[in-house]
Structure 1
C-alpha cells in the first residue's frame, strides 16, 4: 500500500471513529510497521510480561512476520493496520509507542491520545528535520504527520534536549529524559559461550569477542578494513595469537561485501545470527565502529572502543554531526592495520588508555544508567490518569 493511499484511508477512518480511545490499550510500532525491533520491541515485551492491567498490541503489516511472532508470543498481540478494521483497532488505543513511523498515519492523531516517540538511538548525526538532505516537501510531511502528533519524545540525557527539540521542532518540555528501553538488556548477563556456540558450532576458542559494527553509507560501499597495509593472513594470525574473534555486523545490503574478509577469526554476525544486536551486546569485550551511535549505548558497559573514521570528511559533509566527532569518540583511531592490531593488543593485555575519557563521555550522553522501562510505563500511566 502506497503511503499516500494509506494516509488518505487513515484520515477517513480516524474521522469516523467517535469513541474515546482507551488509555488501557497500548499500541507499539516500529520501522514501516513491518519490523519487530528497536525500543518498541523491548517496551512491548516488558508491558506484555509485567503490566496485566494494560492490553498491548504490536503492529506488523508483514503477514509472514506477524504469523511468526504470533506463533512465538501469542497471536492476540499482533495486529495489522492495512485494513479499515486494523486501523480502527489501532485508533481505539489511548497510547501509542513508536520507534520509527506511526501505527496509523494521519493528522491530528495526538489530540485525543498519548503518542510517545521512543526513537532508536542517540542523535550523534543530524536526524529528522535537522537532516540537511531532507527535501522541503518531506519536511512539511514530517512536521504534519509526525512532529505535530507527538506528545513526548524520549532521550537519555538532559544535554540532548536542545538537539532533540530542534530535530523534531517541538517544545523542549516535550523531550523527556526517560531513557531507551533497549538499554535495559545491558544490565543483564549474556552467556557468551552458550550464545556463540549456538550461532557458530565450529567457532574456535574465543577469549576476546570483538564486535565490529560499521555505519551504512549512502554514497558508496563501506571499506571494512580501510588500511593500505591490510593483510588478511597477518590479521588472522594476530587474532589467533590473542585468542580473539572479530564479529562483523554490516548493514544487511552490504552483507555480500563482507565475504572476502571472513575467516575462522573474522565471522559475520548479521540479522540471521542475531536479530537485534542489543540482546547480546554485553558479551563483547571491545566495540569497533565509525559513526554508529551504538557506541553510546555500549558506553554503559565501560568497555574499550576503537573507531575507524577513514572517510570522516566525506561522511560528515553529507550528513552532518550534532557534536564535534573527535571530542565524543573516546577510543583509538588507527589508520593502518599495524596500528589497528596494536590497539587491540593493548586492550587484550589490560591497558585501557581511554577509560577516563570514555567515562566522561558516558556521563554526558547517558544520564539514565539503570533499567528504565518500569519508570517509562509509570510516567505514561500517570499522564493518562491510570496511576
Structure 2
C-alpha cells in the first residue's frame, strides 16, 4: 500500500514537473544492488561531467547506507526525495527490468536506457513464445488482473520496449540483440558498460580470493533453469575421489556459483577443501570471474563477458533439453563455440587437466574474442555517455 500511495503522489507531481535532460537516475537488479551497467556508467559520468546530476535509486537500505558512506548520491525509492528526483529525471537507466526502479513513468522529454545485464545468447523477453511465459505465471483472475493494472499505472516504469537504444558488443551479437527488442529500439555496437569493471583492477579487489593465491581457480557459473523453478545444476565432482585427489595434488580449486534464481532450490551446501560452493557468499559477479583462471558455464551469457579476459573458457552442457524445455538460445554453441565444449563431467575433467598442463593452449584465439567483442578496452561507458549526451 505504501508503494501505491507514493505512486499516486508521483503521478500528481509529474503533472507539474518537467523532465530535465541533465538529471539522470540510475537503478539496478530490481532495486536490490549497486552494480551492473548503471553503476559503472553513473560513476563514469560523475567523474567526467559535473553538469549532469546523477542519482542512484534503490530499495535496499544496506545499499543506501553504504553509498552514503562513500559519498555517492543515493535515495530510497519510496521517499519524497526520490519522488522529486524521479519526476525531474530526463534520463532513466536500468539493468534488468522496469522493476529496477518504481515511478519512472513514460513522459515527455524523458529518455530510457536499458543497459543489458547480459548479451543476447539466451532467448529473452521479446524473443520467446508468450505461451512459455504464461506457463510460469499463476492463473489469471479478474481481481488479480485489476490489481495488476492499478499497480502498473501507479508503479511501473518505462521498460526495455521504450529504451532509446540498446547496445551490443559486436555485429555478430547485434544480429540477435535485434530479435529481442521491438523495431523502434535502435541497436548500437558500443560494448557492455557492466564489463568495464574488468578493466578497473582496484574495483575488483576482494580479500575473499586471497586464500586461493598460488592455485588455479576454476569457477562454475550455470544459469538458472525455468527462472528458478527448474532443477538445480549439479555439484561438480561430488564424491569423485579420483578428481578430488587430482585437484588437491595439482593446486586446483573449483568454485560453484549458482544463479541467484536457484538459491531457493538449494537444500544443502556441499563443499570441501577443493570444491567450494560460494553461491551465498554475496560476491560480485565480475569480481568473481576476474579472479577466475578458468570459467565453466553453460547457457549463461557470462561466458561472453569472460572472453574479454582472454582466459580458458569451457562450455559445460549437462542437460540436452534447454532449447526445447527452457528459454532456449539463438545459436548452438556446439556449432559456434567460444570455448571448449563438454557434455559430461568426465569430459570436463579432461578439459581441466589440459588447462593445468598447457594453460595458454586453452585460451581463446583473438579471432574468437573479436567475434563477440568489437572493443576490448574498458571504454564502453565512455561510448554510451558520448551517444547519450549528444541529445542533452
CA contact (8 A) 1:224 1:258 kept: no
Structure 1 SS opposite 2:321: helix
Aligned-pair CA distance for 1:46:
2.2
2:278 is aligned with 1:269: yes
Identify the range of structure 1 (304-313 vs 46-55) with the bigger mean alpha-carbon deviation. Answer: 46-55
Aligned ranges 1:1-387 → 2 under 5 Å: 10-14=10-14, 16-19=15-18, 21-71=19-69, 73-74=70-71, 77-83=73-79, 85-102=81-98, 103-105=101-103, 107-109=105-107, 111-132=108-129, 133-135=132-134, 145-171=158-184, 174-189=186-201, 195=206, 198-199=207-208, 203=211, 206-218=214-226, 219-225=229-235, 231-252=239-260, 253=263, 256-257=266-267, 259-260=269-270, 262-270=271-279, 272=281, 274=283, 276-314=284-322, 316-350=324-358, 355=363, 359-371=366-378, 372-384=380-392
Deviations 1:246-268 (A, max 9, x none): 111112415845622x1111123
Cα distance change of structure 1 residues 244 and 325 upon mapping to structure 2, 3 Å threshold: same
The whole-number CA distance in structure 1 between the counterparts of 2:112 and 2:265 is 35
Q: Quick check: 1:246–1:267 contact (8 Å CA) kept in 2?
A: yes
Deviations 1:157-176 (A, max 9, x none): 2333343333121335x222
Mark the CA change 1:288 to 1:348 in structure 2 (over 3 Å): closer, same or farther: same
5+ residue gaps, structure 1, are none
Q: Name whichever of 23-32 and 146-155 sits farther off.
A: 146-155
- The alpha-carbon distance between structure 1 residues 209 and 7, as it changes in their structure 2 partners (threshold 3 A), is same
Aligned residues: 368
Deviations 1:226-258 (A, max 9, x none): 67xx53332221111211111111124158456
- Separation in 2 of the partners of 1:80 and 1:242? 48
Q: What is the DSSP-based 3-state SS (H/G/I as helix, E as strand, rest coil) of the residue aligned with 1:341?
A: helix
1:150 offset after TM fit, Å? 1.8
- Do the aligned residues in 2 keep the contact of 1:205 with 1:243 (CA within 8 Å)? no
How has the CA–CA distance of structure 1 residues 200 and 68 changed in structure 2, closer, same or farther, with 3 Å as cutoff?
Answer: same
Mapped contact 1:30–1:99 kept (Cα < 8 A) = yes
Deviation of 1:273 after TM superposition, in Å, equals 5.0
Distance 1:129 1:334, change over 3 A: closer
Alpha-carbon distance between aligned partners in 1 of 2:161 and 2:354, rounded to the nearest angstrom: 50
Rounded Cα–Cα distance in structure 2 between residues aligned with 1:340 and 1:161: 30
* Consecutive unaligned residues in structure 2, runs of 5 or more: none
Say if 1:78 and 1:188 are closer, same or farther in 2 by CA, change over 3 A.
closer
Q: Could you list the per-position Cα deviations for residues 306-328 of structure 1 after superposition, in whole angstroms to 9, with x for gaps in the alignment?
A: 22211131454321211223223
What does the per-residue CA deviation read over 1:184-232, in whole Å, with 9 as the maximum and x for residues that have no partner?
122344799x84xx3267x4664311111111112433232467xx533
- Kept after mapping to 2: 8 A contact 1:199/1:273: no
Cα shift readout 1:15-48 (whole Å, capped 9, x = no counterpart): x2333x2222221111222322221112222223
TM-score (norm 1): 0.82
Q: Secondary structure at the match of 1:209?
A: strand
